[in-house]
Amino acid sequence: MCNAVMSEASKYNISVRTRATYLPEQSDEAAGRYVFSYTITITNTGDTTAKLVSRHWIITDAEGQVQEVRGLGVVGEQPVLRPQESFEYTSGAAIATAVGTMRGSYQMSAEDGHTFDAVISEFTLSVPRVLH
């Protein structure tokens, strides 16, 4: 039983790296608008080709206000990743506080028809020098 679980885990595996940057030139702090860019690197660490079908983001500011974003693909694309291939893109988010978080998932479809989620671990959006 254990071997089947392990082989499936290695077959359908996507790693997600995140990096966020504050954009002061697009922000209006007096109006409570803090804009961030984030760069995501998605790598297929599994054994089968998979397509990124859709995304689901949960963006939370320091006051607990939550924005949920769902949509097809990322930046207008639905990348297909062969094993060990990566796809990188940059997008943006705006929140009402100097600090917040983002987390979510990508809905993936493997070439064999199996669908699975690639988890995007929570990362911080922060104006420089706000968090230590």
In a domain, 131, yes or no: no
In a domain, 132, yes or no: no
In a domain, 117, yes or no: yes
Q: Which domain holds residue 91?
A: 2-126
The count of structural domains within the chain is: 1
Are the C-beta atoms of 69 and 95 separated by less than 8 Å? Answer: no
CA distance 74 to 93: 13
pTM of the model: 0.88
In a domain, 118, yes or no: yes
In a domain, 51, yes or no: yes
- CATH number for 59: 2.60.40.1470
pLDDT per residue as tens digits for the range 4-35: 444 566 899 999 999 999 999 999 999 999 99
In a domain, 16, yes or no: yes
Q: What is the pLDDT of residue 27?
A: 98
In a domain, 94, yes or no: yes
Output the CA–CA distances (angstroms, integers) from residue 6 to 15, 34, 111, in the order listed. 16, 42, 19
In a domain, 65, yes or no: yes
Q: What is the pLDDT of residue 104?
A: 98
pLDDT per residue as tens digits for the range 57-115: 999 999 999 999 999 999 999 999 999 999 999 999 999 999 999 999 999 999 999 99
Is residue 3 scored above 60 in pLDDT?
no
